[in-house]
Chain A
């Protein structure tokens, strides 16, 4: 039988200091190994039970003693000694060969026997616990142990109990025999005799309590002086006489947006619409922010790119569609004719309602990964609230993106259109930029007509799909996704830009001025009006102003950052490789040449504004850190759920 380590004989008793219990002095206790005989052995030797006087009985009684003392190992016991003192400690060993002296670990005296009688020791000991306490058999009076496990059930339950008491280490947890063991959950009750700490009081129990100042409380309780300044983290709202109007306006817009119909599950839930007609929507789909593709085909690369580009789209277009593969936006736009681009470029202004999506749908061309929906939706948004400088900047940003994404898209696709489109888009870009900012050099006049208009027109006739609608074709779905992504999922702004670029260009040429309501129709007319003789961009006063969505904050828009940085007057060179690699986010396919259009210069922003090493956000970076001159106070941050 194996002998547990703990029971191996220690060095001779001389090594151990005398303990209080050792009144006899000189009494040595030999630490013999306690023979832990397995019970099987005892079964054989013990034959009889009560009453037997046979020779075996004595063996059995001895065996029982040995057995029981073994059961006590590791157990907390109380040992009474001759002089009346009582010790408590962990039972470590007994001298089973001889007279069963006891060894305790971490022992404490809890009762002191003196000549005057026993005296209890106060709970808070005056001495540290004794690491090892030896009680010779002569001193021993009795050993008391409670809740000792003797049988196998006892052991099992004790094991369980213990394992849950102590700190669990990995190997303990991973031991398979503990699998499935659960512990009884108990409701937490505060200690009875401990008065409730002020910090535990639930200040928020009951009605919403706005009078609690955490800093003040901290100061009071702990003397911590706070250096928190809210303005470091957010834009300071200028409260003045115009606040009222602006507020009202903002409220109106917010209400409109929040009341919009949506196909996006999350948005719908937030707004209280019930979209759950599809029963296999589980909790994850409803509440997770993980996008699972909804059954559409997302090729990896496309997704990447799209993700980058999507964010701007999302903000612009609002939440008109549910989540579909965002990635499609860019690529599809590239492949589509410029008409598709139109919508994207106008993305800035508005989170257009589903009508925009419908427009996009119209533009959808089977052959292409068209984000027509999105594009369509963008068209209305084209009504820039020009006063909104931000949108303009957004435009620029988008323009940049557009250029880059165009390039990327083109590189990826093999369509013969591509090159032409690229040049067109670039031209459009410059055209657009010229229109918008009156910046200097304009590229060769964009000739959108060279673009395959036919495609668009054919698509225009298509029944517009609502934003939430998912078409069977992957491409269609992509369109949907686009729009959708525009709406709610914060995506990098770059995607938007690409779209917006081309779209903006085309819009510029085609004479924008569409109202959001004229989604489908306008698109059709748009297509037909696309001509080389571009008209000037006309501001649509009915357009909704752009509201930055929260998502835009989160997403890096590396391309835009890079583009901002270069505010040169250099000649626009198509296909110029801009060293745009400022903190490029992981989603940026760096191997794609980025077409930089230096003409896209921000209108008002000072150079410092677009700091490449600054926060990698789109317009979000304006807030808090820089002099916010682009956002009107009415721009409320509408927290977008995702």
Chain B
């Protein structure tokens, strides 16, 4: 698409070489990097869906109409501190979340983990669910696979596990 001037504000319908199809309004086009910035969806409210597209992946496009510049330059705003904070918090959140998901475990195992985590402190240790830092439940996460911990804790984990499995069964059978 060299030579074409992408006019700001134009509404385009685009097909990419990877098979994506969408419509969007041009916010900007940077020739140097060949990146087209599009805004998708209606411009309702302060939030928008932004898409950065490398123009060389555009298979075909068509101009739908020409509108005004969707970006009101006067209202544009950047608060670097809050951006930074946002990123930090997002990273923290992601890290916390990652603890919740077992790596290399089946979805069934993950479901069991989630159920246990409702009432017990649990964490992953590779593919082993560690409850209350004592009791370990390893694959395939049957009540027989519960080991460790005090007898009371062990029993309790077994019971919760059984209960959860039963629940999952009735759920899937419904």
Q: Which residues of A contact B (CB under 8 A)?
A: 2, 4-6, 36, 38-39, 42-43, 46, 49-51, 53, 58, 60-62, 64-65, 67-76, 80, 84, 90-92, 98-100, 105-106, 122-129, 137, 140-159, 162, 165-166, 193, 195, 197-199, 221-225
Contacts and interface: CB of A to CB of B under 8 A. Distances in A.
B172 to A, nearest CB: 11
Contacts of A156: 46
19 contacts: A6-B84, A39-B73, A50-B9, A61-B29, A62-B32, A64-B28, A65-B30, A124-B102, A128-B103, A137-B33, A142-B52, A143-B52, A144-B52, A145-B49, A149-B47, A150-B46, A154-B48, A157-B46, A223-B152
Contacts of B105: 124
Contacts of B95: 106
Nearest to A52: B8
A162 B86 contact: yes
B87 A50 contact: no
A34 to B, nearest CB: 10
Contacts of A124: 101-102, 105-107, 110
Closest 3 CB pairs of A and B: A154-B46, A74-B87, A74-B86
Nearest to A96: B33
Contacts of B145: none
B68 interface: yes
B92 A166 contact: yes
Given A39-B76, A106-B95, A142 B51 contact: yes
Given A64-B71, A195-B167, 19 more contacts: A6-B88, A36-B80, A50-B7, A53-B5, A62-B32, A68-B27, A68-B50, A73-B84, A74-B86, A123-B107, A125-B103, A127-B104, A142-B16, A142-B57, A143-B52, A149-B46, A154-B45, A155-B82, A224-B152
Interface of B: 5, 7-10, 16, 18, 20, 27-33, 35, 37, 45-54, 57, 66, 68-69, 71-95, 98, 101-107, 110, 118-119, 152, 155-156, 158-160, 163, 167, 170-171
Contacts of A125: 101, 103
A321 to B, nearest CB: 50
A71 B48 CA distance: 11
Contact of A195 (B33, B66, B170): B170
Contact of B94 (A39, A106, A149, A221): A106
A150 B45 CA distance: 10
Nearest to A102: B52
A468 to B, nearest CB: 51
A223 B94 contact: no
Nearest to A53: B5
B35 A65 contact: yes
Nearest to B120: A222
Given A90-B91, A143-B52, A195 B46 contact: no
A542 to B, nearest CB: 57
A62 B30 CA distance: 5
B77 A39 contact: yes
Contact of A39 (B78, B98, B155): B78
Contacts of B110: 124
Contacts of A38: 78
Given A68-B28, A222-B156, A90 B94 contact: yes
A151 B75 contact: yes
Contact of A70 (B28, B74, B78, B152): B78
Nearest to B74: A43
Contacts of A162: 86, 89
A137 B30 CA distance: 14
Contacts of A159: 82
B83 A43 contact: no
A151 B43 CA distance: 12
B119 A199 contact: yes
Given A68-B28, A75-B86, A151-B72, A224 B156 contact: yes
B124 to A, nearest CB: 10
B104 A106 contact: no
A326 B78 CA distance: 64
Given A42-B73, A50-B8, A221 B159 contact: yes
A158 B8 CA distance: 26
B101 to A, nearest CB: 6
A150 B90 contact: no
A147 B28 contact: no
A38 B95 CA distance: 31
Contacts of A197: 118
B132 to A, nearest CB: 12
B50 A36 contact: no
Given A75-B86, A223-B152, A223-B155, A154 B91 contact: no
B73 A5 contact: no
B104 A126 contact: yes
Nearest to A197: B118
B103 to A, nearest CB: 5
A162 B84 CA distance: 13
Contacts of B29: 61
Contacts of B66: 50
A226 to B, nearest CB: 12
A197 to B, nearest CB: 7
A65 B37 contact: yes
Nearest to A49: B69
B87 A99 contact: no
Contacts of B77: 39, 150-152, 154-155
Contact of B50 (A72, A98, A122): A72
